[in-house]
Amino acid sequence: METILSVENLNVVFHTYAGEVQAVNDVSFSLGKGEIIGIVGESGCGKSVTASALMGLIPTPPGEITAGRIVFEGNNIVTMSAEQLRQLRGNSISMIFQDPMTSLNPVLSIGLQLAECFMTHQSLSKHEALNKAIDMLHLVGIPEPELRLKQYPHQLSGGMRQRVMIAMALGCDPRILIADEPTTALDVTIQAQIIELMKRLNQQLQTSIILISHDLGVVAGLCSRVIVMYAGKIVEAATVAELYSNPQHPYTWGLLRSVPRLDGSRSRLESIVGQPPDLLAPPPGCAYMPRCTYAMEVCRQEPPLLPVENDRQCRCWLVHESSPLRPADLLGEV
Ligand code: SF4
Ligand code: MG
| pLDDT tens digit sequence for 2-22 | 999 999 999 999 999 999 999
Q: Angle, to 10 degrees, between the axis of helix 158-171 and the axis of helix 126-139?
A: 120
Give the Cα separation of 110 and 125 in Å (integer). Answer: 17
Domain extent listing, the chain: 3-223, 229-333
Tell which residue, 274, 256, 248, 261, has the closest CA to residue 330: 248
Q: What is the mean pLDDT of residues 261-276?
A: 68
- Judge whether 9 and 67 are in contact, CB under 8 Å: yes
What single-letter DSSP state applies at residue 324?
Answer: S
- Ligand 2 centre to CA of 47 (Å) is 6
With H, G, I as helix, E, B as strand and everything else as coil, classify residue 181: coil
Residue 194 pLDDT > 70: yes
The per-residue DSSP string of 21-39 comes to EEEEEEEEEEEETT-EEEE
- Ligand 1 centre to CA of 276 (Å) is 14
Average pLDDT, the chain: 90
Helix and strand counts by DSSP (H, E) for the chain? 12, 12
Q: Is 190 in the pocket of ligand 1 (CB under 6 A)?
A: no
Sign of CA dihedral 261, 266, 269, 275: negative
pLDDT (tens digit, 9 = 90+) per residue, 127-163?
Answer: 999 999 999 998 888 999 999 999 999 999 988 998 8
Superfamily (CATH) of domain 3-223: P-loop containing nucleotide triphosphate hydrolases (3.40.50.300)
Give the Cα separation of 269 and 197 in Å (integer). Answer: 28
For 133-139, which contacts have Cβ atoms below 8 Å and span 24 or more sequence positions? 133/167, 133/171, 136/167, 136/168, 136/170, 136/171, 137/110, 137/163, 137/164, 137/167, 139/167, 139/170, 139/201
pLDDT (tens digit, 9 = 90+) per residue, 41-66?
Answer: 998 899 999 999 999 999 989 999 99
Give the Cα separation of 171 and 138 in Å (integer). Answer: 12
19-32 vs 75-76, strand pairing mode: unpaired
Q: What is the pLDDT of residue 145?
A: 94
Q: Is 287 in the pocket of ligand 1 (CB under 6 A)?
A: no
Mutate which of 289, 298, 325 for ligand 1 pocket (most atoms within 8 A of beta carbon): 289
Give the Cα separation of 171 and 159 in Å (integer). Answer: 18
Q: Is 244 in the pocket of ligand 1 (CB under 6 A)?
A: no
Sign of CA dihedral 163, 164, 169, 170: positive
What single-letter DSSP state applies at residue 63?
Answer: E
The neighbourhood of ligand 2, an ion, using CB within 5 A, equals 48
Tell which residue, 199, 306, 198, 216, has the closest CA to residue 261: 216
Residue 269 pLDDT > 70: no
Q: What is the mean pLDDT of residues 313-334?
A: 83
Q: What is the pLDDT of residue 285?
A: 95
pLDDT band at 28 (very low <50, low <70, confident <90, very high): very high
Which range is least confidently modeled, 29-33, 103-107, 262-266?
A: 262-266
Q: Is 275 left (phi over 0), alpha (psi -120 to 50) or beta?
A: beta
pLDDT band at 231 (very low <50, low <70, confident <90, very high): very high
- Count Cα atoms within 13 angstroms, Cβ side, for 56: 21
**Which residue, judged by its Cα, is nearest atom 3 of ligand 1?**
316
pLDDT band at 268 (very low <50, low <70, confident <90, very high): low
CB atoms within 10 A of CB 245: 10
Mutate which of 291, 296, 319, 325 for ligand 1 pocket (most atoms within 8 A of beta carbon): 296
Give the Cα separation of 18 and 61 in Å (integer). Answer: 15
Q: Is 139 in the pocket of ligand 1 (CB under 6 A)?
A: no
Q: Is 299 in the pocket of ligand 1 (CB under 6 A)?
A: yes
Rounded (5°) CA angle 334-276-218 = 55
ipTM score for this prediction: 0.97
